[in-house]
Structure 1
Amino acid sequence: MTLVERLRAALEQGHRREELSLSDMRDPRIVEDIALAPAAVLVAITDRPEPGLILTERASNLRKHAGQIAFPGGRVDPGDADEIAGALREAQEEIALPPEAVRVVGTSDRYCTFTGFDIVPVLGVIPPDLPLRAQESEVASWFEVPLAFALDPANRVRREVEYGGAIRPYYEIFWQDRRIWGITAAILANLSRRLGHDHPAA
């Protein structure tokens, strides 16, 4: 089986196996219904014997989530056919990833953010070692982390922070000198479960 076929089979099996709770699919700071804009991110997986995952470091001058580690992606525009098209367009704009180089696997669980976005993660397989290039106004740099490391629950730490008078949980993953947390880590935690890397405690 190709990597695309293996990932698609694992994703479909994961969606049949269990339903995630609402708390798994939304920022814990959301305590009431808020207006959400459609958004999408590309979970770009490199086709290697040991697959990798493409992530970006957001530019330090951005108004939201400056300097944080993120998937390529953003708001779905009215001209986008769907979330998949939006994720591919954003990845091309942010890191010069050609849409035609992406073999789409499928979509994973939506994640709603406190900043008002309903994010659809789009999984896709890309050739290794593409000449990607960061769009400096949005992305400071991009890097590749081993997919197995990013999805391994042993590398994911659950933290808590006080916000709005309540304790809110979040995840952290450290790889080399990178801190992957917040929305990106939450999406990776959900994807890890969908692909069979871990399951919630009974």
Structure 2
Amino acid sequence: MQIINLLRARIEQHQPKNIVEELPEAGILVPLTREPEPQIIFTRRAQHMNTHKGQVAFPGGKYDEEDTTLVNTALRECHEEIG
């Protein structure tokens, strides 16, 4: 699982940038399968959605006050979208 070790190292070195835009906060996950050749899981938004119809995306979404953190937002949204 060399790719997993590479991803971990890159994530540990990541320095988040401060974005100076007034945008709603959101949390996403980048879920990986536990296989010898890991795969990334995406979702496809339904055609009836108000925004981003049919787009392929990482599971996640808009922050709700009950979430308390963006990690909780990402986990809640992922559970809602893919179980």
Whether 2:72 is the aligned partner of 1:81: answer: no
**Pick aligned residue for 1:38 from 25, 37, 46:** 25
Aligned length: 82
Q: Partner amino acid for 1:11?
A: I
Larger helix percent: 2
Question: Which 4+ runs in 1 deviate beyond 2 A?
Answer: 1-4
Matches within 5 A, 1:26-175: 35-96=22-83
Percent of aligned pairs with the same amino acid: 44
Task: Quote the Cα distance in structure 1 between the aligned partners of 2:28 and 2:65.
Answer: 16
TM-score (norm: length of structure 1) = 0.36
Partner of 2:11: 11
Counterpart Cα distance in 1 of 2:62 and 2:2? 31
CA-atom RMSD in angstroms: 2.7
Question: Unmatched 5+ residue regions in structure 2?
Answer: none
Letter in 1 for 2:72: A
Q: Distance in 1 between matches of 2:69 and 2:79?
A: 16
Task: Specify the code of the residue in structure 1 equivalent to 2:30.
Answer: V
Structure 1: runs of 5+ lacking an equivalent? 26-32, 97-202
Q: Compared with structure 1, are the counterparts of its residues 65 and 50 closer, same or farther at alpha carbon in structure 2 (3 Å cutoff)? A: same
CA offsets per residue over residues 154-191 of structure 1, 9 Å max, x none?
A: xxxxxxxxxxxxxxxxxxxxxxxxxxxxxxxxxxxxxx
Q: How big is the shift at 1:3?
A: 6.8
More strand by share: 1
* CA distance in structure 1 between the partners assigned to 2:3 and 2:22 by the alignment: 37
